[in-house]
């Protein structure tokens, strides 16, 4: 039969376990705090007398992690970027300097599509670069499907790089979260800052490599 102390011991270790599986330093720190608090209760009731040395260690671990959580939250607030933008940075733009990414995000517009939308049509000049932050899109050429795009894919980066007309038609599915930039704003940033320009090339290269890898798998399969 479990005693109250046993239950808190198990709760504590379950929290540590879950916290270790979830990605992200904030989740890990939170699990350390919650786990240490549950462990502290365990040490109060596990023996006839509270185990003061272990309780003191739990208190110290809780305090240090609370301090680190505060630093992470302060850093996030100072960064001036929304949690969505920060997630985008971690996922796709980490090759870019944080300040340059912020400059890019200033010219970006976020939108959740209420219906399917053709954002780029083959051979028709477009004034925008898109990023599918979340959702799916179909790429067609002369009406034939050639690829499917998932979260984290750029749309229109090829024509932005070549200066030519778009190579395909892209229809984004309803419910998708789309980020868009006026190409003129991106070009202006590229011309004003060589490092930003190089970093953007690195980001696009990664995207195009992923597309080629995906295409290769489709061709092979």
Ligand X SMILES: Nc1ncnc2c1ncn2[C@@H]1O[C@@H]2COP(=O)(O)O[C@H]2[C@H]1O
Contacts with ligand X by CB under 6 A lie at 120, 139, 146-147, 149, 154-159, 166-168, 170, 211, 215
CB closer to ligand X, 35 vs 156: 156
Q: What residues are paired with 213 via a beta bridge?
A: none
Shortest spacing between CB 124 and ligand X, in angstroms: 10
Nearer to ligand X, 155 or 178 (CB): 155
10 Å CB burial of residue 213 (0-12, 13-18, 19+) is: exposed
Q: In what order do the strands lie in the sheet with 117-120?
A: 117-120, 169-172, 137-141, 144-149
Nearest CA-CA partner of 155 in 188, 113, 191: 113
CB of 106 to ligand X, least distance (A): 23
Least gap, CB of 85 to ligand X (angstroms): 21
When the beta carbons of 93 and 154 are compared against ligand X, the nearer one is 154
The least distance separating ligand X from the CB of residue 220, rounded to whole angstroms, comes to 15
Instruction: For ligand X, give the closer residue by CB, 92 or 120.
Output: 120
CB of 184 to ligand X, least distance (A): 15
If the CB atoms of residues 195 and 218 are measured against ligand X, the closer one turns out to be: 218
């Amino acid at each position: 039969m479990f005693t109250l102390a046993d239950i808190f011991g198990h709760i504590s270790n379950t929290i540590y376990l879950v916290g270790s599986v979830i990605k992200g330093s904030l989740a890990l720190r939170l699990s350390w705090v919650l786990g240490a608090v549950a462990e502290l209760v365990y040490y109060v009731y596990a023996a006839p007398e509270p185990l003061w040395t272990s309780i003191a260690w739990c208190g110290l671990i809780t305090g240090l992690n609370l301090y680190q959580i505060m630093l992470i939250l302060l850093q996030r607030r100072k960064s001036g970027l929304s949690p969505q933008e920060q997630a985008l940075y971690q996922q796709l733009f980490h090759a870019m300097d944080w300040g340059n990414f912020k400059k890019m995000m200033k010219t970006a517009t976020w939108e959740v599509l209420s219906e399917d939308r053709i954002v780029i049509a083959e051979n028709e000049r477009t004034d925008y670069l898109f990023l599918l932050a979340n959702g799916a899109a179909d790429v067609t050429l002369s009406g034939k499907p050639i690829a499917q795009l998932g979260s984290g894919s750029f749309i229109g980066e090829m024509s932005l790089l070549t200066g030519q007309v778009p190579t395909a038609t892209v229809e984004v599915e309803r419910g998708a979260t789309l980020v868009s930039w006026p190409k003129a704003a991106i070009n202006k940033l590229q011309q004003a800052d060589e490092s930003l320009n190089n970093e953007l090339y690195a980001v696009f290269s990664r995207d195009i490599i992923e597309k080629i890898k995906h295409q290769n798998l489709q061709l092979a399969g």
